[in-house]
Amino acid sequence: MIDLKNLTIKKAQDMMKAGELTSADLTAAYLKEIEKKNPEINAYLEVYSDAMDQARAADAERAAAANSGSSAALLESKPLLGIPMGIKDNILVKGKRVTAASKLLEHYVGSYDATAIIKLKSAGAVFLGRLNMDEFAMGGSTENSAFGPTRNPADTSRVPGGTSGGSAAAVAMDGALVALGSDTGGSIRQPGSFCGVVGLKPTYGSVSRHGLMPMGSSFDVIGPLAKNVDDAETIFNIIKGKDRYDSTSIDLPTNLEVPKKLRVGILPELFNMGGIDKAVLDNLHESIDKLKKAGVEIKEISIPHLKYALAVYYTIIPAEVSSNMARYDGIKYGSRVEGENLLGDYMNTRGQLLGREVRRRIMLGTYVLSSGYHDAYYNKATMVRNLLRNDFIDVFKDVDVILTPTAPSPAFKIGQNTNDPIKMYLEDVFTVTANLVGVPGISIPSGFTEVEGKKLPLGIQFMASHCREDILFAIGKIFEQLNG
């Protein structure tokens, strides 16, 4: 019996190296869990029929290396050899369906591999299937999927967060060792918090967006969800790096050192801020006390323009959505609903095959960009975004990381916020800023709160300066040890 609950990439590789386990055994164990739990959880939209074939090929490669005495070299070049993982349904895998959880792309098949997928394949990963999400990555609960909501493994009456809810739920339900998601305003970190797993949003540009269906092109970034910080770091180190197919991509500096004594910044105004669940605030206080006892320096900080972050985000994001969604017209690719003429084709296709939240954001964005309102809204929001970037540059002169809750509440009930988009958008209050300014952020499990007899996970978020994922991993590992 494989202990999937406590399995890590390192443990799995050590067991396979020792001959105690094969990739086929491991993949079969995950497929069994998916078969058992997915009908209720709905994390997977599709389990790939060739998952076991991928695993057997990894085992054959490992056996051949063992016979030739090159096992160590093989694992160095392929650190994920035989490791099963799931992929969010907006990241292209060649020859596999990828729908962005939308009826419009229900039958679309990827014509090439995303750069992140190429790197994971080269590292030896086994792909189990594609994971549910909010349609075109718009939402915060994975209720906006055209193929039904994903449910939280901790309490199936509640959401797993979004938009990478399927990715977080898959890891939490032991349906994958790790998973790939994307984060535009908290879409990896918030579901990580709700499901009790680690979620990393890397520095903007540190992971290529080539092959990621765009939502907000100046915000989007691919990142991992995992059981622990080590596994998230392993995946990040594989998928990071400059890519000729993405002009915004960058190589991270290699000569950086993590400070011996880390300084953690906290925002005093959070403690009196309305709309935060008491359990979340109590958990934040407890987390700060644990860090203090571990010798981490805690400093109060101020971010002058932080109060405008959510408004700025929900002004710029719909504008980018409106622009990016123009390509989905039913003409070049995707499903199509016939009309009386070309305009009728457009209107029928988009009106009938796009969900309510997607249509809402397209309309908001078109309004924000329209003549007479562009200067009043979009340009002003862009100016405040730049002010926020300067605020963060100043803050990171005094501290190494910023600590906040990941979300203002534990996972909420399915349907609770569906008819209140403002309330749903407020769930992103702590996460959007990292995307606005491009810095990395990580959500780490920080405990539980009991609600209606269920233990609901809570998470805290650390943000670091540009390209300082190394500091996030360092503080994350310290916090994991403190949290047991």
Please report the DSSP string for 460-484 in residue order.
EEEEESTT-HHHHHHHHHHHHHHT-
Token pair of 3 as six digits: 């202990």
Pairing of strands 198-201, 178-183: unpaired
Query: How far apart, in whole angstroms, are the C-alpha atoms of residue 166 and residue 172?
Result: 10
> Does this chain's domain 4-238 share its CATH topology with 263-311+380-482?
yes
Instruction: For 55-88, give one letter per residue: b (16+ CB within 10 A) or e.
Output: bbbbbebbeebeeeeebeebbeebbbbbbbbbbb
Question: How far is the C-alpha of 30 from the C-alpha of 48, rounded, in Å?
Answer: 12
Residues facing residue 84 across a β-bridge? 126
CB 283 within 8 A of CB 251: no
Q: Are 30 and 176 in contact (CB under 8 A)?
A: yes
Q: Which two tokens stand for residue 469?
A: 């994922």
Note whether 388 and 398 are within 8 A (CB). Answer: no
pLDDT on residue 332 = 84
CA 329 – CA 402 distance, rounded (Å): 42
299 near 368, Cβ under 8 Å? no
β partners of residue 87: 130, 180
- E-assigned strand segments in 247-319: 263-266, 297-300
Q: pTM for the complete prediction?
A: 0.96
The tens place of each residue's pLDDT in the chain, 484 residues long, gives 899 999 999 999 999 999 999 999 999 999 999 999 999 999 999 999 999 999 999 999 999 999 999 999 999 999 999 999 999 999 999 999 999 999 999 999 999 999 999 999 999 999 999 999 999 999 999 999 999 999 999 999 999 999 999 999 999 999 999 999 999 999 999 999 999 999 999 999 999 999 999 999 999 999 999 999 999 999 999 999 999 999 999 999 998 999 999 999 999 988 878 889 999 999 999 999 999 999 999 999 999 999 999 999 999 999 999 999 999 988 888 899 999 999 999 899 999 999 999 999 999 999 999 988 888 899 999 999 999 999 999 999 999 999 999 999 999 999 998 888 888 888 899 999 999 999 999 999 999 999 999 999 999 999 999 999 999 999 999 999 998 7
From the list 43, 39, 90, the residue with the least C-alpha distance to 358 is 90
DSSP helix/strand/coil, 279 = helix
Q: Which residue, among 213, 181, 211, has the nearest Cα to 197 in the 3D structure? A: 181
Could you tell me the strand order of the sheet in which 178-183 lies? 44-47, 126-131, 84-88, 178-183, 221-226, 198-201, 441-451, 454-464, 401-405, 263-266, 297-300
Predicted local confidence at residue 420, as pLDDT? 84
- Strands 84-88 and 263-266, bridge-based pairing: unpaired
pLDDT at 234: 98
DSSP symbol at 294: T
Best CA proximity match to 202, nearest among 194, 84, 212: 212
- Residue 232, classed as helix, strand or coil, is helix
Residues 83 and 178 sit within 8 Å (Cβ to Cβ)? yes
Rg (the chain; Cα; Å): 22
Q: Which sequence spans correspond to the domains of the chain?
A: 4-238, 263-311+380-482
At the fourth CATH level, which superfamily is domain 263-311+380-482?
A: Amidase signature (AS) domain (3.90.1300.10)
Contact 424, 402 (CB under 8 A): no
What's domain 4-238's architecture? Alpha-Beta Complex (3.90)
How many residues belong to the chain?
484
Q: Which two tokens stand for residue 255?
A: 């000569």
Contacts of 483 (CB under 8 A, 6+ apart): 290, 444, 445, 446, 447
